[in-house]
Structure 1
Amino acid sequence: MFSFLIVLVLVLGLNTILWTTVGGMRVVAARMRRKNAVPERLRAGGPSRDEVAILIAAHNEEVVIGNTIASLAEFGHDINVFVVSDGSTDDTAVIARAHGATVLELSPNRGKAGALVEAIKQFGIAERFEVLLLLDADTHLTADYFETGLGEFADPSVVAVAGRASTLFVPRSPTLMGRLLVAYRERVYIAMQYLFKFGMAARYANVVPIVPGFASMYRTRILADIDIAAQGLKIEDYNMTFEVHAKRLGRIAFHPHAAIALTQDPDTLFDYVKQVQRWNLGFWQTVGRHGFRMRTFWFALTLFIAELVLSSVVLILLIPGVLISTGASTLDELGLDPSGFADDVAGLLPPLALVLGVVIPDYLLSVLAAVVSKRPVYLAYGVVFPFFRIVDALLCMVALFEAVFSRSTGSWKSPSRRPARTETEQPALS
């Protein structure tokens, strides 16, 4: 039982307990305000849509970019769409112009961060607009994205609104492996955003570690203070977020029911590994670049990193541990270990406790994902998700090693895309 509890805590995590509790307190406080007839700050009064510049940095995105821009047209004529085609060798720029976007073409490939810096400068975004929305070429905004997201800026202390990521399920992956990967990614989004990020965004915490670059907003007045294209980083969004905290530029807002956007996730193991490895590497590089500071954000980050590394090691060692423990139990039962060492090993690492300590808390995440996304199939998919957790743990540790011993140029290559359709029917999001 003791071994089971240890593994369960390592897998579930103190961070989960802490930030879920803080998030729960936010919910209770909001309900108490309603009960006592104290009006909440309405999600209104922020900038209007015509004060927002939508900037898409794209590299060889002809398969999806036209559909993405077309989906933005549904918001009306007060939408300002800018595209920077960063060294694209396909028809990305042509398609973007055909759909009404203002386009800047760069050559050679500068990397996403470098492309963003040049586009912000060339389009005069900081001078012309109050808010910058960074959008990926494969991302679609939900109908209430602006209504729910821009209202967060009614609070003058808010300088960034982190978009809530949700998986774009149309077009559907043609393979079972692809559907499992996409479903697993959606579960990761739900777990991280409901159990961690909502609590981290509490007013007196303000320790959100990432404003994701796929569909998030910044006040343009802080852009000059952010080193967007810092050298040696694989991705830009972690660094931009850390810059906000490091320079005390303001508060980062996040709510799981606000600023929701749908993104196309990888549906092949190769593309999944490549994308997750890129994200992990960008995280570790950013941590290395900024170091530690005596501030709340860095204390929260340190706790997260310590638990991330520990849980990754536990997951990586899980299968070898179960095999060793099972082998020791077998030797003991057959009476082939007169020294009693095998019995000691089996008692220290009970195979059933090791497995259940991972499977039970992990499956609870699948139950949460099934409820939130209204997709009961996740209850079946959840049986294999622990194996993807182990893959994630391996990628995390490999990226940590790579971040310590290598440097990145920032150049990028988009993952394989599933051809977009005109209609993107999505299930209702809770």
Structure 2
Amino acid sequence: MKKRLISIIIPAHNEAKIIHYILQRLITLVNPGDIYVVDDGSTDATAEIVETHGCRLLRLQSNVGKAMALNTGIKQFQLYSRYRYIFPLDADTTMTRTFIPEIIRCFSQNPKKPHAVVGRVCGTSKNWLTLYRMWEYEIGQSIHKRAQSSIGAISVCSGCSTVYKSDVLQNMTFPGVDISWIWRWQF
């Protein structure tokens, strides 16, 4: 069976206020059948909202946390055997129209080397705190990540903007902390 290009998997716990907007935006970028939502024991209308968008849904009876929800969803939906790339996306994250094509281009430039490609996170400036966070992300992404990349040792892949080769995920699971997972790849 030929693998499809990319799946998006979203762990969601009580995201009824935002999930409609996020899914509406994603559907303009990818086929709704390639969007998978793991309802992580929500007590609000998250699952019902997901169902109205034609996305795939897995309902967990209780809240197991982001890492376990991702692991369960990837396994239950068999994403590593059906897709070349898997994109775990936070339920409150959006992306630009060029995000996925740019990520795929990065993988295509060197098909054997990268296990994951990290995108760039951009926030919205609403007050001094969000403005500071945007500045902090910019420093981290523009300087630190480039330096780490040049020596082939990225220490952390952002949980909301990293796309993984599916064969890598077939042999690993998401831990509670991203950094321990990334270090296992490199050391």
TM over 0.5: yes
Q: Give identity over the alignment, percent.
A: 30
Matched to 2:131, the amino acid is A
Structure 2 counterpart of 1:3:
none
AA of the residue aligned to 2:37: V
Deviations 1:248-276 (A, max 9, x none): xxxxxxxxxxxxxxxxxxxxxxxxxxxxx
CA distance in 2, matches of 1:183, 1:96: 31
Paired residue type of 1:60: N
Residues 79, 211 of structure 1: CA spacing in aligned structure 2 closer, same or farther, 3 A cutoff?
farther
Q: Which residue of 2 aligns with 1:239?
A: 180
| 1:183 partnered with 2:124 | no
Of the two, which has the highest radius of gyration?
1
Question: Which has more helix, going by share of residues?
Answer: 1
Which amino acid is the alignment partner of residue 121 of structure 2?
A
Structure 2 Cα separation of the partners of residues 79 and 240 of structure 1: 28
Identify the residue that residue 349 of structure 1 maps to in structure 2.
none
Give the unaligned 5+ runs of structure 1: 1-47, 174-178, 230-234, 247-430
Report the equivalent of 2:98.
144
Change (3 A) 1:79 1:107: closer
Alignment correspondent of 2:145: 197
Instruction: Note if contact 2:7-2:34 (Cα within 8 Å) is conserved in structure 1.
Output: yes
- Distance in 2, matches of 1:76 and 1:186, equals 27
- Structure 2, unaligned runs of 5 or more: none
Structure holding more strand per residue: 2
Aligned pairs, how many? 183
User: Deviations along 1:352-401, whole A, 9 cap, x unmatched?
Assistant: xxxxxxxxxxxxxxxxxxxxxxxxxxxxxxxxxxxxxxxxxxxxxxxxxx
Letter of the structure 2 residue corresponding to residue 208 of structure 1:
I
Tell me, in whole angstroms, the C-alpha distance in 1 between the residues paired with 2:30 and 2:11: 22
Counterpart secondary structure, 1:167: coil
In 1, Cα distance between the equivalents of 2:136 and 2:166?
A: 30
Is 2:32–2:53's contact at 8 Å kept on the other side of the alignment? no
Alignment pair present for 1:223 and 2:179:
no
Deviations 1:80-128 (A, max 9, x none): 1000011111111111111221010112211111111110111010110
After TM superposition, the score normalised by the length of structure 2 is: 0.91
1:225 CA displacement = 2.6
CA contact (8 A) 2:116 2:163 kept: yes
In the TM superposition, residue 78 of structure 1 has moved relative to its aligned partner by 7.3
Counterpart mapping for 1:217-366 below 5 A: 217-229=163-175, 235-246=176-187
Residue 93 (str. 1) matches residue 54 (str. 2) = no
Deviations 1:211-235 (A, max 9, x none): 1111210001011332423xxxxx4
